[in-house]
Structure formats: structure tokens, C-alpha cells
Structure 1
Amino acid sequence: MSSPKKSALREASHQIIAGGSAGLVEICLMHPLDVVKTRFQIQRGTGDPNSYKGLGDCFRTVYRNEGIFGFYKGILPPIVAETPKRAVKFFCFEQYKKLLALTPLSPGVALTVAGLGSGLTEAVVVNPFEVVKVSLQANRDAFKEQPSSFAQARKVINAGGFGLNGLNRGLTSTLGRHGIFNMIYFGFYFNVKDAFPASQDPTLEFMRKFTIGLVSGTISSCVNIPWDVAKSRIQGPQPVPGEIKYKTCIQTMQLVYREEGYLALYKGLVPKIMRLGPGGAVMLLVYEYVSGWLGKNW
């Protein structure tokens, strides 16, 4: 019989491995849509001659000018960060869930608050990688001509250091983006999943979980996108080199709204939903199935 300490360590290992696996699968499948989403979010109005006219035009232009690998710009930072990022996401969610089970909160509210906590924790871990990723994704040169992820990271650090003007630029926006997303993502998925009975048919059970995960990722994406746009504007290239126009989360949202209108805060929504709708479902399913397999075999 294993000791409580060994059991807790094994459980934590399962959560970390399953979370890392979920993140890696999701990023490899969905990164091209993240590149397209970022390109739309850093566009400033329709007056820019380099603006994409629509989703199809963006895909065609990137492919024509930058090649197929243009859709994988900035993938190394999320791959390097994905295992610890998703491990933190799922591990913290499970730990916060345990802690909140000891409070008077109802199970549904506890799951939602646990999701918020896991998102805020995840944001702190991932933000430096997001700064490098967005700056690479904004680069419209051919893939082979752009700097490496490490060279770009050095450039960011040399220009602004490790603080809020450098490698942690846009941290408040990232906290808002991840906190809100995970609060809805986990809260909706687990509350709705528990409300519908499981099916004995493996195919129907897979479809039940996938559908709930898809809806969960879609709703979360729709609600948190203004924070995502603010993050991209702050972390991406500024309109005038050497002059910081987008500074803080709320200031950036207000500025985008004032200059470009309300809908500008929802730029990139379609590719974001295309990525995080099915991507959110994939992540939760991989996490649950890998975690279940590890529980049975290790």
C-alpha cells in the first residue's frame, strides 16, 4: 500500500504530465490560427495598406509572402512554454478545487473560482513567452529571414529588461485574458458535463465531452477577447517606433475603442474561435484521457 505522500506525488505527476500533453497537442494542431488571430489584432484600422481584407485574404497573403512556415511563426516559445504552462493550468485547477471544496462555496461556484485562480497563475508563467511569440508573429518577413526566438528574446530584454517594459510587457492584459478564459472554460465544462449523464458508448461519450468542451472554449473566447486584443497591441509593434502608444490594459482598450470603434476590441474573434473552440475541446479531452490512462497504468 502506497503512503499518502507517494500517492499525492503520483497524483501531482499525473496532472502535470496530462496537462503538458494536452497543451502540446493543442498548440501543434492550432498554432496557424493563432498567427492569423494575432495579425488581425495588431491591425490599426482599414486605412493601413497592409491590412488584411478578411480571413481568406490573410491566409493567402501569409502563404504567398511567407510560405507555409509563416503560419508557424512564434511556435517555439509556446512549445517551450506549453508543457509547464498547461501543467500549471491543470495542476493549479485541481489544487484550487481541493482547497475550495473545504469552503462553504457551492460545487459549481468553487469550480468557476478554481478556474479563475488557475488562469491567473498560468498568466504569470506564460507572459514572457507571449511577448516573444507576439513580436515574432507580427514580423511579415519570410520565415527564414526572421530572427530566432532566442534572438528575439534577447532583443526584448536588451530594449526593456525583464520588467513591465520588457519581457513582462502586457502582464495585466494577460492576467485578464487567462483569468477570464479559464474561469468560464473550467466552470462551464465541468458544471455542464456533470449535468448530463455519461454514455456507456465510447463514441457517444467522446462526442458528449468534445461538444461541451467546444462550447466552453467558444464562449470563453468570445468573453475574453478584448483583453486579448489589448495584450496583442501592447506586446506587438507600436505604431511609431520608439514611442509607446499602448501602455496598460484599460488605457489600450479605451484607446482602441475611441480610435477604431467597439468592434475593434473583437478583432481576430473568428480565428480565435476556430482555434480555441475545438482546441479547448481537444485540450480537455487529452487531459482527461491521459490522466485516466496514467491512473490505471501508473
Structure 2
Amino acid sequence: MSEPKPGAVAGVSEILVMYPLDVVKTRIQLQVGTGAQAEYSGVVDCFTKIIKNEGPSRLYKGITAPILMEAPKRATKFAANDEFSKIYKTAFGVDKLNQPLSILSGASAGAVESFVVVPFELIKIRVQDKNSPYKSVPDAFAKTLKNEGILAFYNGLEATLWRHIVWNAGYFGSIFQIRTLLPKPETNTQKTVNDLIAGAIGGTFGTILNTPFDVVKSRIQNTVLKPGEVRKYNWTLPSLALIYKEEGFAALYKGFLPKVLRLGPGGGILLVVFTTTMDFFRGIHYGKEEKKPETPLK
């Protein structure tokens, strides 16, 4: 796989800006009640209560886990997508990537990415919970390992696969289509604007598709079983049906607003930083006098 550094830079940039929204998203997803039973009535209410009752720093509690995760996660996402794009073009005998192959490449990259992120996501979710018994990311890691064993870090793998396959398919497939509809950029500024628009729309579309899987993943990963207790949420599709039955269709989109506020603009930021950084590294590698290869996804 080629050149992971730009993806890493892009991922860290996005998480530093958007992390508080992720905390809010998790809090809303984990609350089982609806209406008057729900502790948080919405995004603003959740932000307000966290700041008032727990302090502003709580919005960044657990950020170590996603920062450690984002570099390999984003690097894997773009590198894997680039590699799968080449594989599928060869396999299907085409010279240029088309939208179906963009979707297939994105889904394949999402599957690979899932195996990287699951342990980090589990720790992050557990630390973000309001009633978390863990003081910090290292504390959550140590206690999970001690009390549940190393395999516990892969609780929610199946739901994470669904989440990442669907999001990446929607993200990369949308980017390909949107770029064909936008005016061809004549300057670097225009290219940046196009990437920002395409990435933001792609991030929004991916979020619309994958939020139900994210709700299930959060609940599975935050579950710590007591001796003799049966897991309520286990496999993804039965869990989706259970949430729908007990809480209604809207519950499958709990946390959607903070999630889309993060991953919509975040998808644009991610793509812009990735392509800009990729161009920078390739400029250094090939030199100003040589013709540089085209950045993936352009």
C-alpha cells in the first residue's frame, strides 16, 4: 500500500477539531430512553449539561484513544482504497476508475480499516460514557484487559465492519460522482474548494447510511457483562431489529446530528488535507522538475 503519511496527517487534523461532537454523539447513542426518559434532549442540551455538570474538559476526555487511532485508521483508509482501486481496475480490465468500482474499493478499504480501529473505538466509547468507571484511556485499557481478556478489545467487530464498509462505500462513491459534476479546477484554490465540497457531501452521505450500525456498535462496545449476565446487544442485524422494536425507528439515528456535523465537514477537511499533503510529499519525492503522478481520487 502506498504512502500512508498524508492519511495520518488528515486524520489527526480532523479529530482535533471535531472530537467534542464525537463525545456528544456517543452520549446520545448510549441513552436508551426516549422523550422525557432521555437525559439529553438534543445536541445543544447535551453540550450544555456536559459543560455545566462535568466541566468543558470532559468534552475532550478520552481523546488519546482516537488520536492514537486516527493516524493508522486514516492512513489505512486512503492507502487501502488506492490499492484496491488498482486491483479492481486490473481485475475488471478498465483503465479508469468508475463509480461502481469506487464504491467497491471504498467498501473493501472500510473492511480493512475496521480491524485497525475496533480496539481504539471500544476504549474511546467506554471512557466517553457519563457513567464510565474508567479514569482515563490507560485505565480503561488495563481494566478491560485484566477483567475481560484480550479478545474483549474486538467486541463489536461485526458492527464495526458494517459501519466502516457502508460509510466508506458511500464516501468514496459520492466523491467520485461529485467530482465529475463539479467544474474542472483550473487553480489550486479551485481544486481545494472542489475537494472540500466533494468530501463534505461524501461524509454526509456516508453518515446517513451508516448511523444505525454506529448506534449498535456503541452499545455493544460499552457493555461490560457481570457473571451470568446475557448480552442484550450482540450481532448487528438482530440488535437493529431490537432497537427498532423497543425504541422506534428514530432510535436507529440517535446521535445523527453531532455525527453528521462532525463527519460532513470532517469528510471535506479530511480530503483536502489528504490531497494537499499527498501533493507535498510527492513534490519532495519526485522533485519540482519531474512530472508527479496524479493524487488518488482526483
Task: Report the TM-score, using the length of structure 2 for normalisation.
Answer: 0.88
Displacement after TM superposition at 1:204 (Å): 3.2
- Say whether the 8 Å CA contact 1:181–1:223 is kept in structure 2: yes
CA pair 50-107 structure 1, distance change in 2 beyond 3 A: closer
Uncovered stretches (5+) of structure 1, i.e. residues with no partner? 1-10
5 Å-filtered alignment, 1:72-87, equals: 72-87=60-75
Select which of 137, 143, 150 maps to 1:155.
143
CA pair 250-238 structure 1, distance change in 2 beyond 3 A: farther
Displacement after TM superposition at 1:243 (Å): 4.7
Residues 1:197 and 2:183 aligned together: yes
Select which of 133, 138, 153 maps to 2:124.
133
Uncovered stretches (5+) of structure 2, i.e. residues with no partner? 286-298
3-state DSSP of counterpart to 1:167: helix
- CA separation in 1, counterparts of 2:98 and 2:197? 22
5 Å-filtered alignment, 1:54-203, equals: 54-104=42-92, 107-140=98-131, 146-163=134-151, 166-203=152-189
Q: Which residue of 2 aligns with 1:225?
A: 211
Residues 1:211 and 2:203 aligned together: no
Q: Which residue of 2 aligns with 1:255?
A: 242
Q: Residue by residue, what CA displacement relative to the aligned partner does 1:240-292 show, whole Å, maximum 9, x if unpaired? A: 99552112212211111110011100000100110000001100111101001
Displacement after TM superposition at 1:238 (Å): 6.3
- Say whether the 8 Å CA contact 1:74–1:137 is kept in structure 2: yes
Displacement after TM superposition at 1:49 (Å): 5.5
Q: Which residue of 2 aligns with 1:274?
A: 261
- Say whether the 8 Å CA contact 1:238–1:245 is kept in structure 2: no
- Say whether the 8 Å CA contact 1:238–1:246 is kept in structure 2: no
Which one-letter code corresponds to 1:123 in the other structure?
S
- Say whether the 8 Å CA contact 2:126–2:134 is kept in structure 1: no
Q: Which residue of 2 aligns with 1:234?
A: 220
- Say whether the 8 Å CA contact 1:234–1:252 is kept in structure 2: no
- CA separation in 1, counterparts of 2:41 and 2:183? 45
Displacement after TM superposition at 1:293 (Å): 1.1
- CA separation in 2, counterparts of 1:278 and 1:198? 22
Select which of 2, 6, 12 maps to 1:24.
12
- CA separation in 1, counterparts of 2:136 and 2:42? 28
Displacement after TM superposition at 1:199 (Å): 2.2
Displacement after TM superposition at 1:202 (Å): 3.5
- CA separation in 2, counterparts of 1:234 and 1:123? 15
- CA separation in 2, counterparts of 1:87 and 1:176? 20
- CA separation in 2, counterparts of 1:296 and 1:257? 51
- Say whether the 8 Å CA contact 1:139–1:146 is kept in structure 2: no
Which one-letter code corresponds to 1:120 in the other structure?
A
Displacement after TM superposition at 1:126 (Å): 0.5
Which one-letter code corresponds to 2:150 in the other structure?
F
Displacement after TM superposition at 1:27 (Å): 0.6
- Say whether the 8 Å CA contact 2:174–2:205 is kept in structure 1: no
- CA separation in 2, counterparts of 1:30 and 1:54? 17
- Say whether the 8 Å CA contact 2:8–2:71 is kept in structure 1: yes
Which one-letter code corresponds to 1:108 in the other structure?
Q
3-state DSSP of counterpart to 1:101: helix
- Say whether the 8 Å CA contact 1:233–1:252 is kept in structure 2: no
Displacement after TM superposition at 1:66 (Å): 1.6
Displacement after TM superposition at 1:171 (Å): 0.6
